Chains A and B, each alone.
Chain A
Amino acid sequence: MADERKLAYVMAFNEAVKQQMEADPNVFCAGEDIGAFGGVFGTFGGLQAKFGADRVVDTPISEQAIVGLGVGAAVTGLRPIVDLMFMDFICVALDQIVNQAAKLKYMFGGDAVLPLTITTAGGGGLSAAAQHSQSLEALLCHIPGLKVVMPSNPYDMKGLMTACIQENNPTVMIKHKRLLGMTGHVPEESYSIPLGKGNILRPGNDVTIVAYARMANEALLAAEELAKDGIDCEIIDPRTLQPLDTDLIVSSVKKTNHAVVVHEAVRFGGLGGEIASQIQELAFDYLDAPVTRIGAPFSPVPFSPALEQHYIPNAKTIVQGVRDVMARV
């Protein structure tokens, strides 16, 4: 549609927060620099002016207390959105995320509801080096009690962020820093995308590429390249990593008989290993070749662009990965 409304990924996030704050007075935001400054990536821009400093709260640089603020407010009846500026900083707050937010409702015998959204920004590609570029989603997906979301485009961002805020469990919404400026169709009215439901980004018949966040977009570029050689890729974007839409992935692999799993996180111990295992457990007889995993090398994210561009997987490495898996038939 020529007249369809376009919005940047960052503003899709912002609009979801704004609409949910309008709809539910129990929703508030807290984090470093998110108030008057609007967040270092502009994600919370204009919200304090609209909703006031009591609902869009500037906090000290205190990640444990920021998440603790969210846990305590959620368990006593509010619906907090707490922001950790960079995903790397979840490590500073891990006790509150892993031992408190994820577990309280279980340890309390179900006598607790934690409608908490933790938002953060992950991924590399900005020469931000090893402490501001990580993709630590596998670590979070390993924790029962958390839900983990990584949108690859503006439409999904708004719908998934809306779902996170409305969700009655702790969710971690991971924005990708390199996608903040990506524009796409985003309806103005509020809508939500169910957590745990993946998306077929591109239908195809020859090989299934499972990719999320920025890598889903790289996979789309790779698929265009591979199409020139007559390789028809189906791209599955799980969108939510915990819970994972295993059914969608497996049914695709049963059709294509080949699978490549791509993520920006380091390959060893990454989510690709879990996805590959699910595929071999549930679709072993359908596979014409072993599942291929593409991820970063097992090193911290390097600073220099000369290094980082070789570190993060991209369309080219995905093309090569697909060619390899097809060649093993």
Chain B
Amino acid sequence: MDRSPTDISVDVQLDLHRRMVRIRLFEEAAGRLAESNRLPGFLHLYVGEEAVAAGVCGALNDDDHITSTHRGHGHLVAKGGDFNRMMAELMGKATGYCKGKGGSMHISDTSLGMLGANGIVGAGSPIAVGAAFANRYRGRGQVAVAFFGDGSTNIGAFHEAANMACALHLPIVFACENNEYGEFTPRDKTMAITDIVDRAAGYGMPGVIVDGMDVIAVHEAAVEAVERARAGGGPSLIEAKTYRFYNHHGVQNLGLKYRSDDEVAMWKQRDPIFTLEDRMIENKAATRDQFDAIWAELRADIDTAIAFADESPYPTPDQIMVGVYTSMTGAQ
């Protein structure tokens, strides 16, 4: 892992760090709540992959769009998501981002350009193509990013989206989080290639592999791809090699042993947050005290969010039919 000084400013490094810590703290808190059965439904934790969401979203403007996956909390946090409304949504409360209608798998904030986590593997990419089309159509220089996993590149929706984006030369970045497992099955059992980036050439777009545990590397690649898209240079693909520290869903192992302890330990050694902190301290870009203060500040935000969610009311049954259709005067 690269530990040398970087051209990226200290402010940007601290911004990326902050996005990652926010994700980590939110996810760890969600995991604890799930363990004590305080969250209904499925929970897919992003812990370990923080550098990808943070590095990419750190290269975006507020009015750029992203589509996400079933493992979507990290993308929303990285795009500026509000802890209170996120935690309330995970608990199914009326004050949540989706008023308790979506939950973890559909968490979204269109005002932040976050067009939804998605329960269907691969489904976000065609939607990102639509957002990219609209962005070019309006001509305000906005771009779209499709986040997706290695597994979703095996589904037709990804192929159609990548091909159409390239055929129409749209301002889009395909950001692949290759965590080496499609649910519980290793990548080498489900595809005959090692690198997802090999697929980029088949659509006629540039592709690059980055260390997905190195937020600086992810960010540099994202800045280049986003600038290319914004300048009319068309789509590109970034493959970030990363790893999820928890299971496909939840925090328990469920008695399943599909990854070796050594493998998990090896990846945890490369924790994207701690390696950035070490690197910044070594390069005199920040101090331990500074980082401790950041963690303490953000921990307090999480505690506030949990209290907010706990105290929030559940939606009432009369809300079931609200929002099925939009009234002609606008969103309900």
Contacts and interface: CB of A to CB of B under 8 A. Distances in A.
Contacts of B323: 105-106, 109-110
A308 interface: no
A151 interface: no
Interface stretch (A11-19, A111-119, A249-257, A294-302): A111-119
Given A104-B116, A111-B109, A144-B324, A72 B128 contact: yes
B67 A72 contact: yes
A113 B330 contact: yes
Given A62-B160, A74-B130, A99-B119, A107 B106 contact: yes
B200 interface: no
A190 B134 CA distance: 26
A314 to B, nearest CB: 35
A187 interface: no
Interface in A213-260: none
Interface residues of B toward A: which range?
A: 35 or more
A119 B220 CA distance: 42
B168 A57 contact: yes
Interface string B231-247: 00000000000000000
Given A60-B164, A65-B164, A95-B157, A113 B331 contact: yes
Interface of B is mostly: mixed
A193 interface: no
A318 B25 CA distance: 67
A272 interface: no
A65 B327 contact: no
B146 to A, nearest CB: 10
B161 A78 contact: no
A109 B116 CA distance: 11
Given A75-B127, A99-B123, A114 B326 contact: yes
A60 B322 contact: no
A77 interface: yes
Interface in A41-92: 54, 57, 59-60, 62-78, 80
A177 B170 CA distance: 33
Contact of B131 (A60, A62, A73, A109): A73
B99 A59 contact: no
A73 B132 CA distance: 8
A78 to B, nearest CB: 5
Contacts of A64: 126, 156-157, 160-161
Contacts of B137: 28, 54, 73, 78
Contact of A76 (B130, B157, B326, B328): B130
B173 to A, nearest CB: 14
Interface residues of A, number: 45
A168 interface: yes
B129 to A, nearest CB: 6
B312 interface: no
A168 B102 contact: no
Contact of B98 (A60, A63, A109): A109
A140 B199 CA distance: 34
A108 B128 contact: no
B110 interface: yes
Contact of B102 (A62, A72, A100, A108): A108
Contacts of A59: 164, 167-168
Contacts of A67: 126
A111 B99 CA distance: 9
Interface in B86-117: 96-102, 106, 108-111, 115-116
Nearest to A103: B106
B324 A168 contact: no
A187 to B, nearest CB: 23
A96 interface: yes
Nearest to A100: B123
A106 B102 CA distance: 8
B127 A110 contact: no
Interface in B127-182: 127-135, 137-138, 144, 156-157, 160-161, 163-164, 167-168
A37 B187 CA distance: 43
A169 interface: yes
A56 to B, nearest CB: 12
Contacts of A114: 326
Contacts of B96: 109
Contact of B324 (A68, A80, A108, A145): A145
B106 A77 contact: no
Contact of B110 (A73, A111, A144, A167): A111
A-B interface, 5 closest residue pairs, ranked by CB to CB distance from nearest: A72-B130, A68-B126, A109-B99, A65-B160, A109-B98
Given A64-B160, A72-B67, 13 more contacts: A54-B137, A65-B160, A69-B126, A71-B130, A72-B134, A74-B130, A77-B134, A99-B123, A107-B108, A109-B101, A111-B110, A145-B325, A167-B328
Interface of A: 28, 30, 54, 57, 59-60, 62-78, 80, 95-96, 99-100, 104-114, 144-145, 147, 167-169
